[in-house]
Structure 1
């Protein structure tokens, strides 16, 4: 293959034809170009001819809807309508949805292989930030000597808010107790593993908890969870992971890696819908319940903020006052989850059961590698050669150190012009002001042709924007 061949659409078509996962795209609804621009939801719903799909590369912000979602939700609504409160305990011969009482456990079982968990190490519950607070209430146990929380400086703002409030709740000053790991240089926002480890070393003797992202949302960097977790434990420090951009994106082995806890949302690569119910992982050593013996009066378990839904199901409806938690992660649940929201998540997990994270990761790495090739030295037919690129990829170049995302930083002043061109071409990506676009080819439904079309439009738009700003427009 010559270097010029990859810039031909035919090459992208060839790659798609060889993709063993290409059938999975048909299980999703890709927003059409017409629907993206329509001002009404239902005006065009009776079209006889299917519109051309958009180029949707924003699964790192909100995943596309699985076609099975409407059927799953319909099944849930039918069970509610026909069974009422009895739907909590009823199973059905004509569908595999669990009763409302157990549906969160059904989803957790389906999630466990995606995150590399043992049975009962996953709970489907609450929102990401609520789960983060619940986990810190259990795992952040500061004292006068060890009271600091280490987190990444560019962590999602919600993580900063949660950490600050937990520190204040325990009577400490965030200015002293919140340690942020900042990029070594402004031009290279990714954090090397060695730099993270040295930052931990610097504050280890006074640190009570570490919270880091599995995949950093801004750069798309995939951190070395295993190595960093082991390093934290060597210092006797608990460590938790925000996996919002990692779950359903990269291969995870949370139990094997000895992660203490992890939290995530399910509306990005897990495609469960806007603001969908979230998930958490608690290592089984932290979820064990030691029942009262002959010489003790109370069961012992890891301290937590307790709620009714985390209580032992066998005695839950006895309405007792003594909290006896479910063993494992589900013992950290507080309120009963929305069975409608869980049903929507199950619709996406149905798709994940048709493949494996190993297969998805292999395709994902191929997609981002192809995108990188198209961007670093663009030579699209009919386009002028780009002598000086008006942008830089800030995601790590090592495919093993990034997820299904490339973040591209444009030269100052170009972003708004480029966004107009992308919108005109019905290409959906995510931007972060003032100058970064985040492009996320999701292997479940994105194609090599999607990647090719984005790169062609983006490079042309970048050159156009550079010329317009140079001319003072």
Structure 2
């Protein structure tokens, strides 16, 4: 049922009072503006710090101080097995088994590593489909990947553009492009949510179409992880990567995530680049040559777990798991819907280009300003509205449901209502 919103402070307070997730707001630190919490709508870029992070880091520092190398075995959270701390929470978010997911490296490093397994071009089947305007790092990764194979990016990479006069991709156009490429297609790689428009793509349909064409389907879930519940295993997704510093609140440069479907993870003959941490634990300390991969996504790990780059993520995931991804999604739909409703009450010189259908977006609305977008963003920041700007002309507002409230959204409305642009 669609909520009947009202542009009043009393309505916002009533929604917060009925919100079972409201107490989590007090578990995070907010930047301050004029002595009060900023309006923080930038969780799609960098999530807030959980208040439990400081103690969690102190614990690891203390264990390092007291135990040194023995911390791998005797620390409160033994470092030798540190990556397992994330399996339960991430499996619930991503819709997969605990073996199909792991934490390691960072997003683009993981993308490069996993592409060595899933992109092996042949004479005919060599093309890669991606959305035009994908996040630059993905574009760079694919461009350099095909060059490493001696191929020309302009001939190998097929970019799908919106129709003339439109800013969003139509699912039917994506599926048609996949069918047209047919036997020449090796891989479909897309962002689950487009960082610029905020559009959430139809992952099950696109994955199925890629498989029907004989290609692999992989996803960059940087803007999806912790934002929208997924069913990666049931959707038959081959692989996915994501970062942990947006909706997962893992901190700047936090370790990234990797999902690999069990049909590949449980196949030791499936090609990958090996490393000591990806070797079978039963033989790892024999120190012998001959790589024997661990089962599951962990078989793609390369190096020792980055404990101090993972500890903030561990602290945040404990809170996120308590909240529950589906409860977060329910609040997100209502919260983003309220933001949309209030923005529509204002005479702002902009267009909301994110899909109006809540099922086609997450906790983000992209406001396209034909003129003066950067200047307007600067003025918003000066008023204590922390959001971000992306060329050309888009201000992104992302009320993360873990720590944003309906009152926060109404405060934004009050600021913008008296805002001369």
- State the TM-score, normalized to the length of structure 1: 0.86
Q: CA deviation at 1:459?
A: 5.0
Partner of 1:371: 339
1:204, 1:452 → 2: CA distance? 49
* Corresponding pairs, count: 419
Q: CA deviation at 1:91?
A: 4.8
5 Å matches for 1:147-158? 147-158=126-137
Residues 186 and 216, structure 2, Cα contact 8 Å, conserved in 1 = yes
1:202, 1:169 → 2: CA distance? 26
Q: CA deviation at 1:82?
A: 0.7
Partner of 1:454: 412
Partner of 1:70: 54
Partner of 1:110: 89
Residues 336 and 399, structure 2, Cα contact 8 Å, conserved in 1 = yes
5 Å matches for 1:291-302? 300-302=268-270
Query: CA 1:343 to 1:440, structure 2 compared with 1: closer, same or farther past 3 Å?
Result: same
Structure number with the higher helix fraction is 2
Secondary structure at 1:6 match in 2: coil
5 Å matches for 1:345-424? 345-378=313-346, 386=347, 389-412=348-371, 414-424=372-382
Partner of 1:470: none
For the pair shown, which has the larger CA radius of gyration, 1 or 2? 1
Q: CA deviation at 1:456?
A: 3.2
Q: Which runs of 5+ in 2 are unaligned?
A: none
CA displacement 1:129-188 (0-9 Å, x = unmatched) = 010011110000110110011111111000011001110111111110011111113x43
1:228, 1:360 → 2: CA distance? 25
CA RMSD of aligned residues (A): 1.5
Residues 375 and 459, structure 1, Cα contact 8 Å, conserved in 2 = no
Residues 241 and 257, structure 2, Cα contact 8 Å, conserved in 1 = yes
Work out which of the residue numbers 217, 226, 230 in structure 2 matches 1:252.
230
1:64, 1:125 → 2: CA distance? 21
Q: CA deviation at 1:108?
A: 2.8
Partner of 1:433: 391
Residues 5 and 338, structure 2, Cα contact 8 Å, conserved in 1 = no
1:274, 1:189 → 2: CA distance? 30
Q: CA deviation at 1:421?
A: 2.8
2:353, 2:272 → 1: CA distance? 39
1:121, 1:148 → 2: CA distance? 26
1:416, 1:155 → 2: CA distance? 21
The answer as to 2:120 corresponding to 1:166 is: no
Q: CA deviation at 1:221?
A: 0.9
Secondary structure at 2:323 match in 1: coil
Work out which of the residue numbers 141, 147, 155 in structure 2 matches 1:176.
155
Residues 107 and 342, structure 1, Cα contact 8 Å, conserved in 2 = no
2:392, 2:235 → 1: CA distance? 37
CA displacement 1:253-282 (0-9 Å, x = unmatched) = 111111000000000000000011101000
Q: CA deviation at 1:450?
A: 1.1
Q: Which runs of 5+ in 1 are unaligned?
A: 35-50, 290-299, 379-385, 466-473
- State the TM-score, normalized to the length of structure 2: 0.96
Q: CA deviation at 1:410?
A: 1.3
Secondary structure at 2:189 match in 1: strand
The answer as to 2:13 corresponding to 1:9 is: no
Partner of 1:266: 244
The answer as to 2:8 corresponding to 1:24 is: no
Partner of 2:63: 79
Work out which of the residue numbers 277, 288, 309 in structure 1 matches 2:277.
309
CA displacement 1:198-240 (0-9 Å, x = unmatched) = 1111212201111011111111111111111111111111010
Query: CA 1:148 to 1:27, structure 2 compared with 1: closer, same or farther past 3 Å?
Result: same
Q: CA deviation at 1:453?
A: 1.8
Q: CA deviation at 1:460?
A: 4.2
Q: CA deviation at 1:419?
A: 2.2
CA displacement 1:332-381 (0-9 Å, x = unmatched) = 01111311112111001110121211100000000111111111233xxx
Residues 421 and 457, structure 1, Cα contact 8 Å, conserved in 2 = no
Q: CA deviation at 1:30?
A: 1.2
